[in-house]
A and B are shown apart, each in its own frame.
Chain A
């Protein structure tokens, strides 16, 4: 098991596979080809690679135009710029027209760390999930990222890929199957459920093991790699455990927690429920792992929350 894998490397490099498979695939950059790690595609397919400069609005609108003529653009930049600088272009030129453009947004959540708040995206799930036609995906490991990217090739709709720059670990085996809109369950358990996505899945898996050691209770880990459309069935099932913790590298408002809460409330389900994430502030400057700990959504924070929750029984 490789211990340090960076999903932006995985995703950027995997573009080459998509490019080999489908000549309609084009890559559009906004002066962050290096940061987004898609140089291998650009070098092999220079005619199908575009770089619009530091102009994210143009990145998105230009991609919409390519899509209007039948190409399959994968547009790359950092999540804060994709979701906010170019927000109206995403909404009007991509989503309103239901264009086949894949938005690959790196630096999700606080993974930008000491780059500071300009390079964090703690609002993007709320923004993207509220845009009609937009599919929102946040992979947690290499296998999952590659598989979901592969699937995206044949989905003729816009997809926002939320990619962390923090390291991830291998979670799944070669045999694991993934499908956009269907969650994966890397850890089974019936005493509680940790619903999570992206970088937080590895924290949840570790936490579940520690919780079992300390309390003899087994917490299921639900990797909700698709935030929209949400796998409601699995959330409803999880409520039978009566202990739900949602973990997200996002503001506490508008992220996975809000989405899960909506399912619980509209289905009149009875469960204890806790959302872990950024408490509606702009955090202090710090490395991502420091911040995940400070705001209580790393392994330690999840364990504490679960133990407290179990004591409420």
Chain B
């Protein structure tokens, strides 16, 4: 167990270094990429059964489609394609990698996303279809943002998921408290996200979403796909996690960094940070 956590922590750090490298080449949604990195690494490099086109693979929907760079790097780490391809082609003309998850040229993406509030409703259709096909082995994982919870379509789907008893549906909410224009509770009165899902009949788990240990414990103890109650993991995270000048800084919702910033960010991630947090 300890070894797995250590290994995943290293992989998470590796992914963050790759994200920083990519953001020195192209503008990416770096703040939300860094907050979601631990969730995504635990899913893609540990929990998910993923074999391309296999009927019994787990499905993954990136509802916060703007974290496409992170998804691409996780898929590259898993061996779907070469990592170098991401640096060479991300957001280039005719590319397979867009700034929002696009499956027109990337077949490893189940559903194209980008506009918020679409991932969960589509995932409910997939989850119900799996049940109809008597596939009791596959999970449908969804990663949403916290600001995304303002979309009404999310709550249409939240009702639908309990009605159709989608125990195979597991949603992670990257609760980094910041959306594009400010703090989530200043932009809207969102309040306690977990209690809202609880009111709709969901199984709700609150954890530190930047703790590999807590994430591993959570995914190790998920209800089985053949159960009846959908699960939402409210993953409390820090936007820009791991990079000193980006943490909790709205400026880094998206952006490209210069050479000096690359050096600071790299040092931060390698543990060479000077300040005491």
Question: A-side interface residues toward B, CB under 8 Å?
Answer: 26, 47-48, 50, 52-53, 55, 57-58, 61-71, 73, 88-89, 92-93, 96-97
Contacts and interface: CB of A to CB of B under 8 A. Distances in A.
B128 A66 contact: yes
B115 interface: yes
Given A52-B160, A61-B153, A65-B123, A93 B128 contact: no
B118 A68 contact: no
Nearest to A98: B104
Contacts of B128: 50, 62, 65-66
A57 B111 contact: no
Contact of A66 (B111, B114, B125, B153): B125
A47 B159 CA distance: 19
Nearest to A55: B156
Contacts of A64: 111, 122, 125
B203 interface: no
Interface stretch (B38-46, B129-137, B221-229): B129-137
A68 B153 contact: no
A64 B125 CA distance: 7
A53 B155 CA distance: 12
B121 A62 contact: yes
16 contacts: A48-B132, A50-B128, A50-B164, A52-B156, A58-B121, A58-B157, A61-B121, A61-B153, A64-B122, A65-B123, A69-B126, A69-B133, A71-B129, A88-B115, A96-B112, A97-B112
Given A61-B121, A61-B122, A88-B115, A66 B157 contact: no
A92 B118 contact: yes
B152 A57 contact: yes
For A57, A58, A68, the residue with the greatest tally of chain B CB atoms inside 10 Å of its CB is: A58
A104 B115 CA distance: 24
Interface residues on B, range: 20 to 34
Given A58-B160, A92-B118, A97-B111, A68 B103 contact: no
B14 interface: no
A93 B125 CA distance: 11
Contacts of B130: 69
Given A52-B160, A92-B112, A61 B118 contact: yes
B156 A68 contact: no
Contacts of B153: 55, 57-58, 61, 89
B115 A92 contact: yes
Contacts of B157: 58, 61-62
A56 to B, nearest CB: 9
A77 to B, nearest CB: 13
A53 to B, nearest CB: 7
B112 A61 contact: no
Nearest to B114: A92
Given A61-B122, A97-B103, A68 B111 contact: yes
B124 interface: yes
A93 B65 CA distance: 13
A63 to B, nearest CB: 6
A65 B160 contact: no
A68 B122 contact: yes
A233 to B, nearest CB: 31
Contacts of B124: 58, 61-62, 65
A115 B97 CA distance: 47
A65 B122 contact: yes
A65 B156 contact: no
Contacts of A93: 111, 118, 121-122
B64 to A, nearest CB: 15
B132 A62 contact: no
A93 B113 CA distance: 8
Nearest to A62: B125
Nearest to B65: A92
B121 A57 contact: yes
Given A58-B156, A66-B125, 14 more contacts: A26-B132, A50-B128, A52-B156, A55-B159, A62-B160, A68-B111, A68-B122, A68-B125, A69-B125, A70-B129, A71-B132, A89-B118, A92-B112, A97-B103
A67 B115 CA distance: 19
Interface string B128-169: 111011000000000000000000110011011001100000
